């Protein structure tokens, strides 16, 4: 049989087998919290088309990788998960049993699917909150019933009848941990956060793929965009950039509801679910126009197939909801969040100051773990951000955070970073004293805002080795320290900017050997929003806390400040004239036992 004949046979097999529609399989077999899982009809045709594209077209030998550029809360993760189960449990894929062969049952080759995330934390949350409940709520327990008896059945690896398998894993920053797997289909979930190296290494496990283009398999990249110039944007630019076009019931012409970077949607979307055709201005129902619509590519001959969609098109979304989410009407959303997560647009580079991707690419020490104890010869610098939670009072949920760094030339290594799992005053003091002993701390800086009493107590014990920090509004002379004063006055925006510059240049190193232990700190570093401020005609960057916690980043900026304080002898020397050197500490310090609460 030559290659063409094989392809013809595969083509016929395809036709035969796909008389079973993947969308009907999903609707008939899966439920959402016990409710029926309706995809067809009711304004979801845009999703139906993507389901079929991934489950049918992408599997063909001439299939292309798919990039889905989406806003938040558009059911894309659910779609990928429904397809994971479809591949595993529909009976369309798999090595036929002896009886099936005798009965002439036709199946497509066995299939191996990897659904991956950049971080362990994301994988665990997905399995616990989405995958397991979804799998266990299938009608007639079909997914569990299709599992291979005595096969692997853990949270992350599941084997199914016919040699199909599903892996839910994280790539980490290198993808090395997945090296021993093989896969036909890979879903890259939260694509915006992957490190490029991890993606290219992970796709190598598709060399022997039995589906999709030979030696390449099927890749589906989907995520919510962040900044311009990112790998996500570069990938999107390689695609045929499909936008979903609605069909006008009167003039029968197509029009996109939304195209990133344009404001035409404001004229098209009148109110609630009523839209106006931009060609003939007929008012009509959005859901109906969606169900009659189709995806239209805007680029010819592209290497990837690209789908863009956001919440606009979702059948439950009204214009009023979108307007309520706009930053001018909502103090809780920033311009960056609105653009990325609601509109599904890339934001300017300055608006997203730090991303897990930048840290993963530039700052990861892959072979270094967190140190439970400091070096005797290299001093450390400690930053402490006190949690807003005050004992006996309600409100505030963040813990206190400590970050320890060592300076190696001009490179700052994060030695350890942790949350102080206590809210008690004396317990906190005890832990900080223990850190001093264990880590050879040369200088610490701690927040005064929520910890004036804590800093005073620490200074009574450790003297000027602990300095308090106050924000100081001066952008031009951002650092100030008066002799015999135990407080530093420093500008928080300049401190954050300095930390980000160091990260972008790979000068802050994160211990990534056990990535799960440091992911929280990476997230804290990536939670800031940027804006600009003009002070006396000069432009300065300012940083505002985003939706997630940022205490770890704040503590890191204090640790950097402690280092700077020592190196400049209290900011009296010009930092530009100082050559970074290793400060020697002659006194080895006694190390006492384990203190509970310190991790
Ligand atoms: Zn029309």
For residue 405, give the CATH number of its domain: 3.30.420.240
The rounded Å distance from CA 268 to ligand 1 centre is 11
Distance 44 CA to ligand 1 centre (A): 21
Helix (H, G, I), strand (E, B) or coil at 509: strand
Q: Is residue 293 part of a domain?
A: no
Beta strands in 224-341 (DSSP E): 242-247, 254-256, 269-271, 274-276, 283-285, 294-297, 305-309
What is the distance in A from the centroid of ligand 1 to the CA of 272? 19
Is the pLDDT at 583 greater than 60, yes or no? no
- Do 33 and 151 fall within a single domain? yes
On whether residue 136 sits in a domain, the answer given is yes
Of the ranges 196-205, 367-376, 586-595, which is most confident?
196-205
How would residue 302 be classed by pLDDT, with cut points 50, 70 and 90?
Answer: very high
CA of 305 to the centre of ligand 1 (A): 28
What is the tens place of the pLDDT at every residue in 147-156?
Answer: 999 999 999 9
Q: Assess if residue 336 is contained within a domain.
A: no
Residue 404 within any structural domain of the chain: yes
Q: What percent of the chain is helix, strand and coil (3-state, nearest 5)? A: 35, 25, 40
- 247 alpha carbon to ligand 1 midpoint, in Å? 8
Distance 276 CA to ligand 1 centre (A): 8
| Pair (65, 126) in one structural domain | yes
pLDDT at 589: 32
Report CA(248)–ligand 1 centroid distance (Å).
5
My answer on whether 303 and 401 are in the same domain is: no
CA 365–ligand 1 middle distance (angstroms) = 57
Per-residue model confidence as pLDDT tens digits over 322-331: 999 888 888 7
Q: What are phi and psi of 543, to 5 degrees?
A: -130, 135
Determine, yes or no, domain membership for 259.
Answer: no
Q: What is the CATH number of the domain that holds 225?
A: 3.40.50.300
Q: How many domains does the chain have?
A: 2
- Regarding whether 367 and 232 lie in a shared domain, the answer is no
Q: For 397-451, write each residue's pLDDT tens digit.
A: 677 999 999 999 889 999 999 988 777 889 999 999 999 999 999 999 999 988 8
Give the Å distance between the CA of 288 and the centre of ligand 1: 13
Find the 295 Cα to ligand 1 centroid distance in Å.
Answer: 18
pLDDT digits (tens, 9 = 90+) for 6-42: 566 666 665 555 557 899 999 999 998 778 888 888 8
- How does residue 574 score in pLDDT terms, banded at 50, 70 and 90? low
Do 44 and 122 lie in one domain? The reply is yes
Report how far residue 333's alpha carbon sits from residue 325's, in angstroms, rounded to the nearest whole number.
Answer: 7
Structural domain contains residue 347: no
CA of 318 to the centre of ligand 1 (A): 21
Q: Is the same domain home to 177 and 313?
A: yes
Q: Are residues 315 and 361 in the same domain?
A: no
- How open is the CA angle 492-494-419, to the nearest 5 degrees? 45
Q: How far is the CA of 566 from the centre of ligand 1 (A)?
A: 70
Do 375 and 469 belong together in one domain? yes
**CA 257–ligand 1 middle distance (angstroms):** 13
pLDDT band for position 586 (cuts 50, 70, 90): very low
Q: Are residues 150 and 231 in the same domain?
A: yes
pTM: 0.83
SS3 15: helix
Q: How far is the CA of 274 from the centre of ligand 1 (A)?
A: 13
- 51 lies in a domain? yes
Structural domain boundaries, residue 146: 20-241+298-319
Are residue 314 and residue 360 in the same domain, yes or no?
Answer: no
For residue 281, the CA-to-ligand 1 centroid distance in Å is 6
User: What pLDDT was estimated at residue 294?
Assistant: 97
Both 450 and 511 in one domain: the answer is: yes
Using a pLDDT cut of 90, give the percent of the chain over it.
66
Same domain, 92 and 161: yes
Position 15 scores a pLDDT of 59
Assess if residue 253 is contained within a domain. no
Q: How far is the CA of 141 from the centre of ligand 1 (A)?
A: 46
């Amino acid at each position: 049989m030559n290659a063409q004949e094989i392809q013809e046979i595969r083509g016929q097999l395809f036709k035969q087998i796909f008389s079973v529609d993947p969308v009907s399989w999903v609707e008939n077999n899966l439920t959402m919290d016990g409710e029926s899982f309706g995809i067809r009809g009711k304004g979801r045709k845009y999703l139906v088309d993507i389901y079929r594209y991934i489950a049918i077209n992408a599997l063909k030998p001439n299939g292309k990788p798919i990039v889905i550029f989406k806003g938040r809360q558009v059911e894309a993760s659910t779609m990928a998960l429904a397809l994971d189960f479809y591949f595993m449990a529909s009976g369309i894929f798999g090595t036929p049993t002896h009886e099936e062969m005798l009965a002439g049952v036709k199946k497509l080759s066995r299939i191996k699917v990897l659904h991956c995330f950049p971080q362990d934390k994301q994988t665990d949350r997905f399995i616990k909150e989405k995958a397991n409940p979804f799998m266990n709520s299938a009608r007639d327990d079909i997914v569990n019933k299709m599992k291979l008896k005595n096969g692997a059945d853990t949270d992350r690896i599941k084997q199914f009848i016919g040699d199909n398998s599903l892996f839910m894993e994280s790539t980490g920053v290198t993808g090395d941990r997945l090296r021993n797997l093989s896969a036909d289909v890979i879903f890259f979930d939260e694509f915006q956060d992957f490190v490029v190296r991890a993606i290219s290494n992970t796709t190598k496990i598709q060399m022997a793929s039995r589906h999709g283009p030979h030696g390449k398999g099927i890749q589906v990249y989907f995520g919510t965009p962040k900044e311009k110039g990112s790998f996500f944007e570069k990938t999107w630019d390689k695609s045929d950039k499909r936008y979903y076009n609605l069909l006008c019931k009167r003039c029968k012409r197509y029009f996109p509801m939304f195209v990133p970077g344009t404001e035409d949607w404001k004229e098209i979307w009148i109110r609630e679910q009523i839209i106006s055709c931009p060609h003939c201005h007929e008012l009509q129902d959005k859901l109906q126009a969606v169900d009659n619509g189709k995806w239209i590519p805007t680029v010819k001959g592209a290497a990837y197939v690209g789908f863009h969609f956001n919440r606009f098109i979702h059948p439950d979304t009204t214009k009023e909801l979108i307007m309520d989410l706009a930053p001018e009407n909502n103090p809780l959303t920033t311009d960056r969040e609105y653009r990325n997560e609601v509109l599904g647009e890339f934001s300017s580079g300055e608006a997203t100051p730090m991303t897990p991707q930048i840290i993963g690419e530039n700052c990861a020490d892959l072979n270094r773990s967190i140190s439970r104890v400091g070096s005797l010869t290299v001093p450390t610098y400690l930053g402490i951000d006190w949690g807003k939670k005050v004992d006996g009072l309600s409100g505030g949920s963040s813990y206190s955070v400590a970050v320890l760094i060592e300076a190696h030339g001009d490179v700052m290594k994060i030695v350890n970073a942790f949350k102080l799992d206590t809210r008690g005053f004396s317990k906190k003091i005890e832990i900080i004293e223990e850190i001093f002993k264990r880590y050879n701390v040369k200088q610490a800086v701690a927040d005064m805002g929520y910890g004036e009493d804590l800093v005073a107590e620490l200074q009574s014990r450790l003297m000027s080795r602990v300095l308090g920090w106050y924000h100081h509004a001066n952008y031009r002379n951002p650092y100030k320290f008066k002799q015999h004063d135990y407080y530093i006055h420093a500008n928080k925006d300049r401190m954050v900017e300095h930390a980000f510059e160091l990260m972008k240049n790979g000068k802050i190193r994160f211990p990534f050997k056990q990535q799960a232990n440091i992911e929280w700190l990476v997230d804290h570093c990536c939670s800031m929003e940027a804006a600009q401020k003009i002070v006396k005609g000069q432009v300065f960057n300012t940083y505002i806390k985003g939706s997630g916690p940022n205490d770890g980043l704040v503590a890191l900026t204090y640790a950097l400040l402690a280092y700077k304080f020592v190196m400049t002898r209290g900011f009296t020397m010009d930092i530009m004239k100082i050559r970074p050197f290793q400060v020697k500490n002659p006194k080895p310090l006694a190390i006492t036992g384990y203190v509970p609460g310190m991790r």
